[in-house]
Copies of this chain bind each other. A is one copy, B any other.
Amino acid sequence: MKATRTVQKILSNYEADTPGVKANLCRMLMQGKLGGTGKMIILPVDQGFEHGPARSFAPNPAAYDPHYHFQLALDAGLNAYAAPLGMLEAGADTFAGQIPMILKANSANSLIPDEAPKDQAITASVDDALRIGASAIGFTIYPGSSQGLEMFEEISAMREEAAAKGVATVIWSYPRGEALDSAGETAADISAYAAQIAALLGAHIIKVKLSTDHLSLPAAKKVYEGEGIDISTQAARVADVMKSSFNGRRIVVFSGGSKKGADSVYDDARAIRDGGGNGSIIGRNTFQRERGEALAMLGKLIEIYKGKA
């Protein structure tokens, strides 16, 4: 499929990447109902690792089956499906070539002792991604953790290998750890900083959480207030994140967190769109709903990103 001008323009921002990486980015940008618009919706299903199977799938038991998620992403016309290795392997053949996959290459879980530093385990490799035909690897970093520097080193090395082998890199940049209190994790300044770090580490796609209007680092607060950076609305904060992602030269998708009301999900999407963000990465709010309901919600989100809702 011929890439649209919009997509070609986005790809041209990746000045140092090989055709292999660009092809995979293009594949994701041209897939599904948002294909060609430069907007993206990604379905991430790593909650079985993070929260355990019951908390993730019991609300909609069909979701225990790995095939369910491939089919959901495909039927809803999403851009890509992200999951840990075992989950993707369980459907890699049945759905080969039908929906771009992002191999989530590290994972945490709810059984880690509280006192352990915030960290994740690397549970898949770039060669695993090639073997199962994934378009990208996904990797979480925790800026703010005492393990943060080591996580940066891990993804730097893995990203270099991935890029050399034509696989794109998606970084989940989640501020967390000893340096941050709970409000700090989603503060506006921290969120923009998290996006900047992911961009500097060479992420092709950046995933951050939507932020609040809290400012956490005193030195940053002073600048935000002194320079009058607008963070009063969600859209303004999205715009600040995009500016911090090389002035919009990198694709950024936003996540909304735990299951909530549909209107709230739609409002988030409108803010992402209006702030210039590239889209949503939305898991529990879809697969924990009954399939028909989830498809309807995803259809509405697509309309929002198309500017029609």
A interface residues, Cβ below 8 angstroms from B: 13-17, 48-49, 51-55, 58-59, 61, 64-66, 84-94, 107-116, 119-125, 127-128, 131-132, 143-146, 148-150, 152-153, 156-157, 160, 175, 177-180, 189-190, 192-193, 195-197, 199-203, 217, 219-220, 223-224, 227, 229, 240, 243-244, 246-247, 249-250
Contact A16 B153 (CB under 8 A): no
Contact A15 B94 (CB under 8 A): yes
Contact A224 B49 (CB under 8 A): no
Contact A16 B92 (CB under 8 A): yes
Q: Work out how many copies of this chain go into the complex.
A: 5
Whole-angstrom CA separation of A17 from B89 in the bound complex: 8
Whole-angstrom CA separation of A157 from B154 in the bound complex: 14
- In angstroms, how far is the closest chain B Cβ from the Cβ of A112? 6
Contact of A153 among B61, B94, B109, B121 (CB under 8 A): B121
Contact B179 A112 (CB under 8 A): yes
User: In the complex, what residues of B have CB within 8 A of residue A229's CB?
Assistant: 54, 58
Contact of A156 among B17, B51, B121, B203 (CB under 8 A): B121
Whole-angstrom CA separation of A59 from B91 in the bound complex: 47
Given contacts A123-B152, A123-B201, contact A220 B55 (CB under 8 A): yes
Whole-angstrom CA separation of A75 from B212 in the bound complex: 39
Contact A65 B113 (CB under 8 A): no
Contact of A128 among B14, B55, B160, B223 (CB under 8 A): B160
Contact B54 A220 (CB under 8 A): yes
Whole-angstrom CA separation of A229 from B202 in the bound complex: 44
Whole-angstrom CA separation of A131 from B159 in the bound complex: 14
Contact A92 B53 (CB under 8 A): no
Closest 5 CB pairs of A and B: A15-B93, A16-B89, A121-B149, A121-B152, A113-B178
- In angstroms, how far is the closest chain B Cβ from the Cβ of A53? 4
Whole-angstrom CA separation of A132 from B18 in the bound complex: 11
> Whose C-beta in chain B lies nearest to the C-beta of A228?
B58
Given contacts A48-B196, A84-B200, contact A120 B143 (CB under 8 A): no
Whole-angstrom CA separation of A189 from B120 in the bound complex: 21
Contact B193 A249 (CB under 8 A): no
